[in-house]
Chains A and B, each alone.
Chain A
Amino acid sequence: MPETVVRDDALDVGQAFRDSRVEEVLEALDRDLVGLTGVKTRIREIAAFLLVDRLRRQMGLEADRPVLHMSFTGGPGTGKTTVALRMAQILHRLGYIRRDHLVVATRDDLVGQYVGHTAPKTKEVLKKAMGGLLFIDEAYYLYRRENERDYGQESIEILLQVMENQREDLVVILAGYKDRMDGFFGSNPGLRSRVAHHLDFADFTLEELMRIAQTMLEQQR
Chain B
Amino acid sequence: MHITQGTFSYLPPLSDEQVRAQVQYMIDNGWAVAIEFTDDPHPRNTYWTMWGLPMFDVRDAAAVMLEIEECRAGNRGCYVKVNGFDPSPLRQGQVLSFIVHRPTVDEKGYRMTRAETGGQVIGYALNPYAADQPAGKRYARNGG
* A interface residue numbers (CB < 8 A to B): 98-99, 101, 126-132, 166, 168-170
Contact = CB atoms under 8 A, between A and B. Distances in A.
Contacts of A101: 59
Contacts of B63: 126-128, 130-131, 169
Nearest to A165: B66
A130 B57 contact: no
B55 interface: yes
Given A128-B63, A170-B62, 13 more contacts: A98-B60, A99-B59, A127-B66, A130-B58, A130-B59, A130-B60, A130-B62, A130-B66, A131-B61, A131-B63, A166-B66, A169-B62, A169-B63
Nearest to B27: A131
A167 B11 CA distance: 32
22 contacts: A98-B60, A99-B59, A99-B60, A101-B59, A127-B58, A127-B63, A127-B66, A128-B59, A129-B59, A130-B58, A130-B63, A130-B66, A131-B60, A131-B62, A131-B63, A132-B59, A132-B60, A166-B62, A166-B66, A168-B62, A169-B63, A170-B62
B62 A128 contact: no
A169 B20 CA distance: 13
B21 to A, nearest CB: 12
Interface centre among A130, A168, A170 (most CB of B within 10 A): A130
A68 to B, nearest CB: 15
Nearest to A162: B66
A131 B58 CA distance: 9
Interface in B82-110: none
A44 to B, nearest CB: 27
Contacts of A130: 58-60, 62-63, 66
Contacts of A168: 62
Contacts of A170: 62
B2 to A, nearest CB: 31
A131 B57 CA distance: 13
Most buried by A among B55, B57, B62, B66: B62
Contacts of A131: 59-63
